[in-house]
Structure formats: C-alpha cells, structure tokens
Structure 1
Amino acid sequence: MKHIFIACLVLLSLSACKNDKTETAEEPQKTNIQENMEFSNALDQYYEDGLQLDPLSATAAGDHRFNDQMPNYLAEDYKAKLQSYYSGYKSKINAFDDADLSESQQMSKAILNWECDINLEGLAFDQDLTPINQMWTLQLGIGQLASGAGAQPFKTVEDYQNWLKRLDGYLAWMASAEDKMKQGILSNQVLPKSLILKVLPQLEALTTNNLNAHLFYAPVLNFPKDFSEADKKQLTKAYQDKVKTEIIPAYTKLHDFMAGEYLEAGRISSGLADTPDGNAYYKHQIKRYTTTNMTADEIHELGLQEVARILTEMEKVKQQVGFEGDIMSFFDAVRNTPELMPYKTPAEIIDHFNKIHQIMQPHLEKMFDLKPNTPFEVRQTEAFREASASAEYNPGSLDGTRPGIFYVPIPDASTYNVFSSESLFLHEAIPGHHYQIALQQENKDLPKFRKTLWYSAYGEGWALYSESLGKELGLYTDPYQYFGMLSAEMHRAIRLVVDTGIHAKGWSRERAIKYSMQNEAESIAGITSEIERYMANGGQALSYKIGQLKILELRAKAEKTLGKNFNIAKFHNQVLMNGCVPLALLEDNINAWIDSERE
C-alpha cells in the first residue's frame, strides 16, 4: 500500500526527527492517580490569563467577553507582560511533581512546558520590527473581522459598539507598526522588496472613500432586521465617522510610508540569514514549526529525497494517461488543459467541492469513529484578500455555533484548475483540518488551553496525511486527481528544499521559483505567491511534510506490529484524541497504544 511504502522509504531520513525529543516534551509516566484539582485549576487560569492577554484569540474561540478590546501587540509593556506570563506559569506548573498528577495531566504539563519555552525563546528575537507582511500579519485578520463574516459578531447594538472600541486598539497598532518599521530600517531588519509590493494593494484597497465599497463599513450594510431605526441611524453615523476620519487616513498614511520610504529601504535578498540574528531565528523557527531539533541541512536533504521519489510516481501517471513528452511538458499540459478548467462561476466551484464531500460520506463511516459535531461550510475567499490568498480553513467556535469554514480563493472562475481539488478538500476540509480542529475543540477531556492549541507539524501533518487517504475514501478515480494528490505532496516536499534554501543556503527568490517550476505543475503565479509566503514566515512551510511523514511512519509501524488486529479507525482515534501535540508526544502515545493492543 502506498502509505506503507512512503513511511518505509523515509524511515531512515526521519530518524533524527524520531529521536529529537525536546527537553520539555517528555513521555508522561504511567499512573493511576486521579486528577489533581489544584493543577487543573492552574491550567484553567493559564488559559484565562491568556485570553485576557490576547482578546482576539478569545473572540476566535467564541468567547465574547473581550470583543471590545485589542491590546497593542507591538508595545514594549505588552512584550513584558508576555515574558512574565510564560515564565510565571512555567514556574507554577513545575512546582507540581509528576508523581502527583494523572497521566493526562502529565501530558498537559509537558505540553505547557513546551509552550512556555518556545514562546520565551521567541521573545528574545526582535521580530516586531517587521510587523506587516502580505500573508500572516494582523492587518489581514482584522480585515476578515471587519467584514462581518468572521468571528467578530454583529448581531446586537452592543456588538457594533464593541467593534468600534476594538478599532481604537487596532489604530494604535497601525501607528506602532509604522514606528517599528522605521526602527527596522535603521537596523536592517526590513522586508524584501517583493513582499512590500504585495502588501501595497492590500492597504490601498482600504483607502477608498466610497463607503459602500469599504470593507470596514460592511457591517452597516448588513444590519440585523430587529434593529430600531434610531439605532441604525446612530450606528451609521458612528461608522461613517470612524471609517472616514480614522480608518481611511490611517491606511493612507501606512500605505504611503510603505510605498515610499519603506519600499526604498526594502531588501534585495530573500532569506532570514541576511537579517540581524537571522540564522539563530531560523533555527528557532524550525524548532517551533516542526517541534523537533532537526537542522536545516537535514531537512533540505530529506526534501531532495522526497522530491525524487514523488517525481517517479508522477512519471507513472504521465504514462498512464498516455502523455508523450517529458515531465515538464506534462506539468504545462496539466496547468493549461481546458478540460481541467470547466467552470465559469464561483458558485459552480463551490458546488464542486460540496460534491466531493458527498462522495466521501459512506467511506468516512468506515475510516473514522470520531467525527465532529461542529457544522462545516465551503465559502469563496473575501475579495479584499483573494488575489494573494491560499485556500484555507478557519475553525468554528468552541461551542460549535459558528461553523468551520473552508475558504477557496477564486479570482477568476474560468481559469480555476480543478486537477488538485480532491486532495485540497481532504487537506483543508474533511477529514483534514475540520476533523482535527473541531474534534480538539469539542473534546471535553482536554483542559481549556489545549482546545485551541496549534502545532503546525501535527495539524498540518495530519492534513497532509489526510490527502493520502483519497483512494480509501472513494476518491482519486481520475488519474488527474491522483496526480493532483502527488502534486500537492510534491508541493510540500519542495517546501523542505526551498524554505531551507532561502533561509539557510542563500537561495534567491528567483532560484526558489525556478526550482519549484521544474518540479511541480502549479502555475507561475501560484508558485511565486508560495515562495513569497515562505519568505514572509521562514520555517512554517517545513511543518507539513515533517508531520505527515511521522504519522505515516507510525501507521506503518502499527500495521506491521498488529497485523490482522490493526484497525484504521482506532488508529485515527489515537492520533486525534489528544488534540495538537508536539510530534514526540504523539509518537509516545501511538507506541503505548500499539503495546496495549498487542497485549
């Protein structure tokens, strides 16, 4: 079977990952001790204090107590609060002896130690000097909230007033962002020019004086039906004043600064190595995103091996469909085949993804005992960020009242290529991010802080592993869709090469684009956007393949050890039941389950 073959092939390459347990991610000791209530209370207080420190996260989780608040995340006093928060709770939880904790609590202690350590380590780097990029930073998330279609509620008059108050905090952040970037110019901590150019249209779109077309005015255009005329009039005036006199001028000022002084100072180079402490910061990013101590060189070499393996599989598909020509020509054919771009409207593409879900339904029953209750929807990405966005999943609320949403960017429906749509749905939607995140949020056995915890190696690793389940879920019957899965996996393998190439080996943006074009069927526009994504957040792109290979390795081990007693649904239960964890803890849990099943 395909997944066994992959796991066995990369087992040696992953040996470093397998053995790289961090100091804090230690295996919980077996214990029959009941829950230690004092320790549980400390975990709950950690979560509660965290929500107050980061009220946007509270809103995202469906906790609306702080919807009117937004601290200035760039302020020095805020950074000091974070330092105190993580160091204080690290001391507090380590005052508890493992012998006095239940097995589940020991895992929570190990995870919280990891959290405190990695965040304290990150605070040592002055990354606030590049507070804005085209992909990851606050101005994009705020735009989603402002639209009225995100986690920020606009159901009551108080909701509308809360947002106006929260915008005051955002405006302070915008002013601080410009100040930080000016400091960054003086210390050579600046964005590459190519990334600055991608931010400019995002900012410019919000300088329009046409209120009816302004994203931040959208809630006024969608008042709930039960609002009184007096409330509508008062809120309309308040939103007009806020957008006209504060939001538009702030975006105009920030845009003009970034288009002028900041663009002039932008870097020609692409990687973190050309920034102060860049090498040390990239090492930290690798650790944060892979939850291992793998080195850039080890990851780069693993990527080269995976690219070579997947290219061999792609050649088989090329021969299967009878294409004559080399693999590069086949990539071009897949990119440009009209039959793979059959739709004319975004609605048709959304329907296409919903049909994929319908095909999978009977097979999901066999593969998964655990299925979430949180609703799920497919939506087109909002217009203001669609041009530079990737397909993504936005989690539902903790109480399940807000659905999980699979966002699909469709700038031009007539050129939307569907050859990888099945693998994309498996990854971003079901059983990928939606199953994993919704089940984590619904898990009543997890302390609150673990319900919203995210480790990219685990979460993205699970999503990429989910793509390998296509044939078992009734998909990939079309060789082009199977090629789409290989292409998606290739995309993640290439990331191991180009991310480390850019940030540790001096690769230029152009070299990384060329390497990607030679090894995958994505469009030049899509590849360019991806390379710039890696430039903006070095290390994040490594997490997918590292996590996937670990899960495949553990499944292969379980299948080999348990033989006829292996049950795929039980295996998936074990992977999903503890929520997001560092990979070393996932491995410990699966090994313990294998031992118990064997006994």
Structure 2
Amino acid sequence: MLKLIVFTIFLGAAMQSCQQKSEKDEALAPVKDVFADYYEERLALFPLEATMNGDNRYNDKMSDDLTKAGKLKAETFFKKYQSELAKYNREKLTEEERTSWDLLQWECNISLEGLKFPTELMPLNQIFSTHLMIGQMASGGSLQPFKTVKDYENWLKRVDGFVVWCDTAMVNMKKGMKEGYVLPKPLIKKMIPQLADMDQGPTTAHLFYSPAKNFPKDFSADDKARFEKEYAAMVEEKIIPTFKKLHNFVEKEYLPAGRSTNGFDALPNGKALYDYYIKYFTTTEMTAEQIHQVGLDEVARISGEMEKVKAQVGYKGDLKSFFNVVREDKKLMPFAKPEEVIVHFNKIHETMKPNLQKLFELTPKTKFEVRRTEAFREASAAAEYNPGLADGSRPGVFYVPVPNAKKYNVVSDESLFLHEAIPGHHYQISLQQENKTLPEFRKNLWYSAYGEGWALYSESLGKELGLYTDPYQYFGMLSGEMHRAIRLVVDTGLHSKGWTREQAIQYSLDHEAESEESITAEIERYMAGAGQALSYKIGQLKIRELRAKAEKELASKFDIRDFHKLVLESGCVPLRLLEDKTNAWITSKK
C-alpha cells in the first residue's frame, strides 16, 4: 500500500511537471523572435558591423572591442542567447528554424571561446586592422554613407570614437609588450608607412577630408561651408595628431619590442589560440597536422597538372624555371595605365555572361563594379570584394590593387574575377543578403570556409563559363589553386611547426608563379591573420567532394543548376551543415 501511495505521488508530480513544461513551451515566443532580437542587439553592440550591413542607426558609434568592459558586454550578450536557445526544443522546430538555431548556437559558442584569448593586446597589423577599415570609410566611397547632412555629422562623431579607440590600442599594445603579446618585426615595419601617410597635411589633400570635397548636389551653401570648416578641424586637430602619436609609438617603442619569431605558437598560450583559429576559420575539428598533410598532397597533385600545361605550351625547362618565365613574360604585362586593368576585368565579365545561365538559375539583383584599390593601402593590399546592399544603395565592389600598371601580370585574372566577383563572392554574398526567407542575422553571416570555399570552387568553373581558352589563363587558375594549397602548408608551418618567414617565402617561390614581392606580402598576411588562409582550400575541397558525390549517386538526375542553388540558397553555413543538407537533398532526389 505504501509503495502504491509513493508511486501515485511520483506519477502525480511527473504529470504536473510535464503539464508545467507544456505550459512553459506554449508561453515561449516564436523562436524567430529570438533570432530577430539577437540581430538587433548585436547591431548596437557592433556598430561598424551594422554600417557594413547597411543599417545606418549606429553610424556615429565605434565598436568597443579593446576594453575589459567591452569584452564583458560581448560575453554577457552571447551567454544570454545561449540561454535563450536552450529554452526551445530543437526537434519541434521547422527544418529552416533548426538550421537557424544551429547557426546561432555556433555563433555564440565560437564567439565565447574566442573571447577567452587576449587578442586585444595586438589590435593593429598591416592588413586586418580597424585603422585600415576606418581609412577606407573616410574616403567617402566605401561602407560609410555620405549622402545627407546627418551622414556628415555621424562621421564626425564616429571619428571621435576612433580617436579613443587608437588611444586604447596604444595602451593595450604597451601591455602586450610586457606580456610578450606583440607582432613580429616585419609586420610592424609594414605598418609604419601606412601610419606615416595619415600623420601629415596638407589638410585638404588628406584622406579624411575627402567627403568635404565631394558634397551631394542638394547640399546648401551653408552646409558645405560648415562641413568644410568642421572636416578641416577634424583632420588638423584629431586625425593628424592621433596618427602622429600612433606612428611615433609604433616606430620608436613598438618596433624595438617586436618579436623575432613568426608564428602564433610563440605567443603565450599561442598553440591553443591557433587551434581556435583553425576551428573558427575552417568550421571543422581538423588539426594543424592533418591540414598540413592535405596541403602537401594538394601541392603534389596540382604540380602534376601544371606540368601538363607546361608541355602544352612547348616549354622544355623544369616547372620552377617555367614559373620565372610566367612571372617575367612581358606579353603577360600588356598595360601602361591602371585604368586599362579595370577595362580588362570588365571584358572578362562580358565574355562569360552568356554562359552563366547554363550553371545558375539563382542569380543576384545587386549591382556590381570593378574599382582600383585606394592609393593609401594599395601597396599592401590584395584584390578583394566589398559587399553591396540588397536595397540597391551600394553596389558590390571588386577592388584591384595596381601599384605599377607596367608590371601588372594578367596570368591569373580570369580565375581572380571568378573568385572575387562573379560567380564567387558577388553571387554568394548578394544572394544571401537578398534572401527574404532568412532571419536578418543570417543574411550577413560569414563563415570563411564556406564563403572562400565557394569562391575558390568558382575558379574551377572557368571552362564551363567560356574562359581558360588561353593555356596561360588556365595555368593562372592552377596557380591560384596552388596558391591556396600552399597556404595550408605555410600557415600551419608558420603557426604550429616553427617555420620562419623566410622558409615560408621560399616554399611558396618553389611551388608557384607569383612574384617574390607578392609572395612576401602574402606570407606576412598569414603571419598577421593566423588560420584565415586555411579556409579557402578546406571549403573548396568539401564543395567539390559534395558535387562529385551528387553526380555519382544521382547520375542522369543530377542538374548543376540545382546543385548550385542548393549550395547558395541558405547563405553561409559551417561545412558540416552544408554536408548534412546536401546528403538530404541527394536522398530526396533519389
């Protein structure tokens, strides 16, 4: 009898608990509200990201990513949304909601993991750095809009925040010097001329004065006069003095304290930091050793393909000497003026246009332009893509650095256009932003393994798009793929195997046709941004693997337009989610 009473009490308690849980589930707001709240709160926390996304509400603010208070706010934010997600039964969500749930969980987890490391102690470098991004915005032709009086006022306030950011950066760098958290000397040397370009007049020729020379037509004479005065004062009293301080500090104090080592594994707890960057940029659990071996295997495979092209063009020497021929062939340097390079890329676009519909049913509406990289950062910049906006207010821009038009080599230009522009970054990012079925936070997500993997995969589509009819351009595509395979070897070599800068440069020179100047800039890029360079090849190999699987298992049912739609329609996702989605698609097609 006692057992029966106990069981009855237990059963009653269990039923009451289930009823309470059921009522709790019913009381929950739709999970889409969590996604929407996350995005709104994130924009306020990361105002530069908001501007990049085309949300102008925070254009007068700077992100607080260098202070303890700023990092604590970020930690609190991500933990809050971990807790919010935990309230929902994932299995009861729709398929698309589950994908969004998984993505937001990944975002919170990987961000919290990264916040454990004191990366704010190395806030500046020569390529991935806020001071360079702000310089681009200051030009008036980039992410920051300068269309209204409010826009011009916003920028003046944001510059105030940037001045504070620079002061905080110097404080952090001094702390980093004491703790051994500093950049390698070669990278510091590259920063010095960048800072020197900004620490002097004349005022009206300064980059930060540029918007005051390009007012919208509807500005009144009074507004123009006011902003000419205020922007001149901003340059003379804030920007030039700030960059003078930065320049002097970096050259006189930071450079002597710079590291003679090259990799992140030389930093305190650097091995764990590099392992984190591998996970962050590849969205996989691969180890540095595994990635290094994949790189070695790919370098060997691509070298064999290069040998075939060398034989096709009738060159009798070895592959390494053929690299020198390609580097120095004047026929591959046909330009005298930078504008000719831009015209050249637009011609590539025109050539491939008729074939795009054969491969893509899904295409973006966002406009697209090719522009020359701004002079202040051209010497250290690589070709790159800046996203447009779905509302048409900003086109996607493919930036091409042309520091010396007469030495500009065209050998990789067709593959470069496919990667950075169409159907690479421009298609992928624009379609993601234009997709009205995605929660807002997903429209601007970026996973390098997916985004750069897609762009590198796009390079392999050249023949299907009517390009690579010239064997040198096909060699250029192989060179581009080799370049990304080499990255797997040298990035892991630098950051996990004790490779020197010189060793990494020599390995690249031995296996690709890039100039030593270009290779040096690339190696120094990997030294500054550990792990990012791994994402390209790891992502490309996964997309290739999935396409090959689909072609084999679906046979005559395989449609390349459907496959490309499948890969692109949901925007950026970690590679595991892309694989799961592709496997489900293959099963449904069968």
Relative to the length of structure 2, the TM-score reads 0.95
Indicate yes or no: 2:319 matched with 1:327.
yes
Alpha-carbon distance between aligned partners in 2 of 1:128 and 1:559, rounded to the nearest angstrom: 46
Aligned residue pairs total 563
1:436 maps to 2:428: yes
| Map of 2:334 onto structure 1 | 342
- Counterpart for residue 84 of structure 2: 92
Which protein is bigger by CA-based radius of gyration? 2
Assess if the C-alpha contact under 8 Å between 1:72 and 1:172 holds in 2.
no
* Alignment map for 1:152-301 (pairs within 5 Å): 152-301=144-293
Deviates more, 1:541-550 or 1:211-220: 211-220
**Distance in structure 2 (CA, Å) of the matches to 1:279 and 1:400:** 44
Work out which of the residue numbers 48, 53, 61 in structure 2 matches 1:56: 48
Q: 1:591 to 1:115 in 2, by over 3 A?
A: same
Q: SS of 2:398's equivalent?
A: strand
Structure 2 match to 1:71: 63
| 1:489 partnered with 2:503 | no
Choose 262-271 or 68-77, whichever is displaced more. Answer: 68-77
Taking CA–CA contacts closer than 8 Å with sequence separation of 6 or more, which of the two structures ends up with the larger relative contact order? 1
Aligned pairs for 1:41-52 (under 5 A) are 41-52=33-44
Cα distance, 1:399 vs. partner?
A: 2.0
1: distance between equivalents of 2:122 and 2:253? 14
Is the 1:61–1:398 Cα contact (8 Å) retained in structure 2? Answer: no
> Unaligned stretches of 5+ in structure 2?
1-27
Equivalent positions of 1:1-12 (< 5 A) are none
The 8 Å contact of residues 146 and 215 in structure 1, kept in 2 or not, is answered as yes
Matching residue of 2:12: none
Q: What's the counterpart of residue 24 of structure 2? A: none
Residue 590 (structure 1) aligns with:
582
- In the TM superposition, 1:299-448 aligns within 5 A as 299-448=291-440
Which TM-score applies when normalising by structure 1?
0.93
Q: CA deviation at 1:69?
A: 1.2
In 1, Cα distance between the equivalents of 2:89 and 2:97?
A: 11
**Residue in 2 that maps onto 1:22:** none
In structure 1, what residue type is equivalent to 2:324? D
State the Cα deviation string for residues 8-56 of structure 1 (Å, max 9, x = none).
Answer: xxxxxxxxxxxxxxxxxxxxxxxxxxxx962101100000000000111
Question: Whole-Å Cα distance in 1 between the matches of residues 440 and 564 of structure 2?
Answer: 22
Unmatched tracts of structure 1, length 5 or more = 1-35
Aligned to 2:458: 466
Q: Which moved more, 1:93-102 or 1:494-503?
A: 93-102
Aligned partner of 1:480 in structure 2 is 472
Identity of aligned residues (%): 60
Aligned to 2:514: 522
Whole-Å Cα distance in 2 between the matches of residues 47 and 72 of structure 1?
17
Contact 2:383–2:400 (Cα < 8 Å) also in 1? yes
Partner residue of 1:14? Answer: none
Q: Aligned to 1:73, what secondary structure does the other structure show?
A: coil
CA distance in 1, matches of 2:353, 2:393: 22
List per-residue Cα deviations over 1:138-195 (Å, max 9, x = no partner): 0011011000001111111111111000111100000000000000000000000000
Match of 2:141 in 1: 149
Q: CA deviation at 1:333?
A: 0.4
- Contact kept, 8 Å, 1:335 with 1:523, in 2: the verdict is yes
Distance 1:369 1:577 in 2: 11
> Cα distance, 1:324 vs. partner?
1.6
Amino acid at match of 1:219: P
Q: CA deviation at 1:335?
A: 0.3
CA distance in 1 between counterparts of 2:43 and 2:234 reads 27
Distance 1:189 1:384 in 2: 28
Contact 2:332–2:409, Cα closer than 8 Å, also in 1: yes
Identify the match of residue 545 of structure 1 among 537, 547, 553: 537
Between the aligned partners of 1:479 and 1:180, the Cα distance in structure 2 is: 51
The partner residue of 1:532 within 520, 524, 533 is 524
Q: Describe how 1:547-586 pairs up with structure 2 within 5 A.
A: 547-586=539-578
How far residue 400 of structure 1 moved from its aligned partner, in angstroms, is: 2.8
Q: Distance in 2 between matches of 1:90 and 1:569?
A: 37
SS of the residue 2:57 aligns to: coil
The answer to whether 1:101 aligns with 2:93 is yes
Deviations 1:92-130 (A, max 9, x none): 012100133111000111111111010000000001000
SS in 1 for 2:527: helix
CA distance in 1, matches of 2:90, 2:254: 51
> Structure 1 CA distance, aligned partners of 2:99 and 2:218?
48
Kept in 1, the 8 Å contact 2:48–2:63? The answer is no
CA distance in 2, matches of 1:219, 1:68: 15
Give the whole-Å Cα distance in 2 for the aligned partners of 1:37 and 1:374.
34
